Chain A
Amino acid sequence: MSEQYPALVVIGPLLCALLVSVAGWLRPRLCLPLAIVGLGIAAAASTGLLAQVLATGPVSYRLGGWAPPWGIVYYVDNLSAVVAALVSWVALFNLAASYRTAMTDYPEKIGPFYTLYVLAVTGMLGMVVTGDAFNLYVLLEITSLTGYALIGLAGGRAPLASLNYLFLGTIGASFYLLGVGYLYIVTGSLNMADLAKLLTPLYGSLALLAAFAITLVGLWMKMAFFPLHAWLPNAYGFAPAPAASLLAPLMTKVMVYVMIRVMISVFTVEFILQEVALSQFVVWLAVAAMVAGALMALGQRDLKRMLAYIVVAEVGYMVGGAWLGNKMAMTGAILHIINDAVMTFCVFLAAGCIYQKTRGTAFEDLQGLFKKMPWTMTALAAGALAMIGVPPFCGFFSKWYLIRGGLEAGHWGFVGALLFSSLVNVVLFFRIFEIAFFEPMSHGHGGHGGHGEQAKAIALTEAPLSMLLPLLAAALGLVALGLATGPLVEKIILPIIPAGLG
């Protein structure tokens, strides 16, 4: 069975998504168990895959039994295995955490909702394990389409935000497709490993540079890299809570993974460092992303939107780290993919818990929450500390590597921007904590609201256990991940950093 793990990672959830859809028409009560089974298979298989890859080295799997480059292969190394495990576990936890919200908000559409949920995860997992450039495009579109639908599901401004996301996302994906086409036209291959081999003699050609540029811009659009981030805050800010806590932690991170994969496995670092020579420019863009994301987050008056802008800044961390051009920074970028996924999940899930109880995440809705929802707020604080970068929470350690990378590259702008964004995070989160700590529903007796306000104050209690347990697990995971940094870097990340990086 173990040699089939790469297939199971994707096939398990796919088949279950279809069964969920059938159950949605016939027996809606079965939807949730089936979805859990699907993601459970994915989580188990990806964990097994990770163990296997760590034990025996990279695994490749020929779909349909065809050898590359004629058929499609899955190629799983440490990086893809660990990201796949991350994606599947986060998705599983979020599913467990968000079923109540889904049940109360969309009782009639449980079937389609879970179908799309599981399909989105399928797409992400496929993108992570695939070794074929075109296959990646198809899976990217599955994830995107499900994302548009899940975001547009909420009322209010969500459909417009989702449509904007769709426009930019489609341009991004099309650019990626075009980039793959350019690569195909100059090499005749679609397999990543084969491409890397065939591209070496072509260094210096204009077509290759254009292919690289287009692919990269396409991916940047999908990951909301500054200044192509415009879609993200609205899309994640207005999305329904269960979708936001699925997509915000995973989608951008998977796209960063894809960028790193394309950079190191298709174009190779030699090409990027010597032929493209855009590192300085891109790192400065990343600096701009961090600073702009932090500043725009300061201007928000809503928890979810604020978090969405923080995601924009975090993308800057990872892209900057990947482009600094040394081992430390690349380690930091990869480590941050893992850490950021868990901490973004933690804070968005906490926002979801708050929404479940207060039906809003504007700053006024947060008053007195430390009293009313102590556990949720504890988890939010844990996520916040991870984002600020306080040890032993995991965010500290990826920042550690990123800063070291920045110092090694002598890029003071990057180091400064990282510290600046950490400091702004302190302000951002403690502003929220101040509201939740110091404003105990005080304006109830201020005249407006009166009894209604009072009733709300009494009715507010801790989020249901089904949401709280995954949330606390995520919060604990932040510490566990932080303490596991040593082995994580040593055993998983360092072996896959290409030797070409200085």
Chain B
Amino acid sequence: MKALALAIVALVGGLLISATVDFPDWGDPASPASLHVSPHYVEKTMEETSVPNIVTAVLADYRGFDTMFETTVVFTAGVACFLLLRRREPRPGPSRVYRHRATGVIVEMSQPPDTEPAPEVFKRIDDDWTPHDLIVMNVCRLLIPFIQLFGLYVIAHGHHSPGGGFQGGVILGASVILLALSWDLRTATTRMKETATGLMSATGVFIYAGVGALALAMGGNFLDYAALSPILMVDPVAARSLGIFFVEVGVGLAVMATMVLIYRNLASEGHLDQGL
């Protein structure tokens, strides 16, 4: 196998390297890629969409259709993980572990109880016991709102600075995952219910595609935000800028929810009760 791998790698690598002879040098401002399509983006973006961040404008408007499917890819991955892993039946395994809140004593029940003990007295903890670390838990609890605020900022400010729906969405998703890491998966799940996560994931993509479909309904082409100017009551260029904002919100929502969905299913092998 190793010899075969080496042969394939040498062959493919050789082919790829030999082709680089005809490529432009690194950073060459006169390369075809820098001269053909992209100058239009750089020079006309402001005029056509009034978005200073060219990457955002190209991403969500000129090539907005790609981006819609990119969001769909994320959504697909979330649904795929759910479909492959999620299991309704409880995890097999004999014991459950609880911590007595008042004393900190750990109790292991050899049989899963018929009724859960009162949560304010006994707190369920993961099988692979993690220490009750006050500092980590509280620092994270304090940090998470700020992380989320920052995530919202990144989504909203994508027009003017590096950022946008994907980046902001990932930050928001990470905040929920941080909660699951520092506390436990059950806490994170009660804060953000499974159904709500699933719905948000679909809704996010739906906002994107819906904005596009709305443009279509208004008589423009699909995703032609300029067609939305009558409803938004702004001129077509500003409508493009606003349209970009709407779809970025949708992207953010979808990405956040899907990250959480994937994490939960992977971490708990689909049982959603405990995990990393």
Residues of A in contact with B (beta carbons under 8 Å apart): 4, 7, 11, 14-15, 18-19, 21-22, 24-26, 61-66, 69-72, 108-109, 112-113, 115-116, 119, 122, 126, 132, 134-135, 138-139, 141-142, 145-146, 148-149, 152-153, 159, 178, 182, 184-190, 198, 205-211, 213-214
Contacts and interface: CB of A to CB of B under 8 A. Distances in A.
Query: Among the interface residues A22, A64, A116, A139, which one has the most CB atoms of the partner chain B within 10 A?
Result: A64
Contacts of A159: 84
Given A22-B203, A63-B65, A188 B213 contact: no
Given A64-B224, A65-B226, A70-B37, A14 B63 contact: no
A467 B7 CA distance: 48
A64 B41 contact: no
B15 A116 contact: no
Contact of B83 (A4, A112, A214): A112
Interface string B11-44: 0000110111111100000011111111011000
Contacts of A148: 80
Nearest to A162: B84
Interface string B103-142: 0000000000000000000000000000000000000000
Contacts of A134: 63, 66
13 contacts: A14-B72, A21-B75, A64-B65, A65-B220, A65-B224, A66-B62, A69-B36, A70-B40, A72-B66, A119-B72, A142-B76, A188-B33, A207-B21
Contacts of A211: 19
Interface string B67-94: 0011011011101101110101000000
Query: Among the interface residues A15, A19, A66, A153, which one has the most CB atoms of the partner chain B within 10 A?
Result: A66
Contacts of B256: none
Contacts of A126: 69
Nearest to A68: B37
Interface residues of B, number: 60
B248 interface: no
Interface stretch (B150-158, B161-169, B179-187, B204-212): B204-212
Given A63-B64, A142-B73, A15 B210 contact: yes
Contacts of B80: 112, 116, 145-146, 148-149
B10 interface: no
B190 interface: no
A27 B13 CA distance: 52
Contacts of A66: 61-62
Nearest to B197: A25
Contacts of B24: 185
A361 B55 CA distance: 52
A188 B36 contact: yes
B37 A64 contact: no
Contacts of B75: 18, 21
A400 to B, nearest CB: 38
Contacts of B35: 188
Which 4 residue pairs are nearest across A and B when measured between Cβ atoms? A188-B36, A210-B19, A149-B80, A65-B224
A145 B72 CA distance: 11
Contacts of B222: 4, 7, 11, 63-64
A205 B23 CA distance: 10
Nearest to B40: A70
Nearest to B82: A112
A72 B70 CA distance: 14
Given A7-B222, A109-B86, A69 B37 contact: yes
Nearest to B61: A64
A15 B69 contact: no
Q: Which secondary structure dominates where chain A touches chain B?
A: helix
B64 A139 contact: no
A11 B40 contact: no
Nearest to A171: B12
Nearest to A175: B12
B198 interface: yes
A47 B138 CA distance: 60
A71 B76 contact: no
Nearest to A188: B36
B36 A198 contact: yes
B192 interface: no
Nearest to B18: A206
Contacts of B195: 25-26
A113 B254 CA distance: 19
A116 B76 contact: yes
Contact of B33 (A19, A132, A185, A208): A185
Contacts of A206: 18-19, 21-22
A70 B58 CA distance: 9
Contacts of A186: 22-23, 32
B79 A189 contact: no
Contact of A25 (B62, B84, B199): B199
B259 interface: no
Contacts of B79: 21, 112, 115-116, 119, 149
B255 interface: no
A487 B21 CA distance: 49
B221 A153 contact: no
Contacts of B221: 4, 7, 61-65
Contact of B213 (A11, A22, A61): A11
B15 A213 contact: yes
Nearest to B87: A108
A70 B62 contact: yes
Given A70-B62, A148-B80, A187-B33, 8 more contacts: A4-B216, A11-B216, A15-B209, A64-B225, A126-B69, A146-B76, A159-B84, A206-B19
B196 to A, nearest CB: 9
A152 B79 CA distance: 13
A473 B116 CA distance: 55
B19 A64 contact: no
A66 B84 CA distance: 39
Query: Among the interface residues B20, B79, B223, which one has the most CB atoms of the partner chain A within 10 A?
Result: B79
Contact of A188 (B18, B38, B73, B223): B38
A107 to B, nearest CB: 10
A63 B22 contact: no
A119 B76 contact: yes
B209 A116 contact: no
A210 B18 contact: yes
A187 B22 CA distance: 12
Contacts of A108: 88
Given A25-B195, A145-B76, A71 B19 contact: no
Contact of A64 (B15, B21, B62, B86): B62
A69 B33 CA distance: 13
B62 to A, nearest CB: 5
A64 B41 CA distance: 15
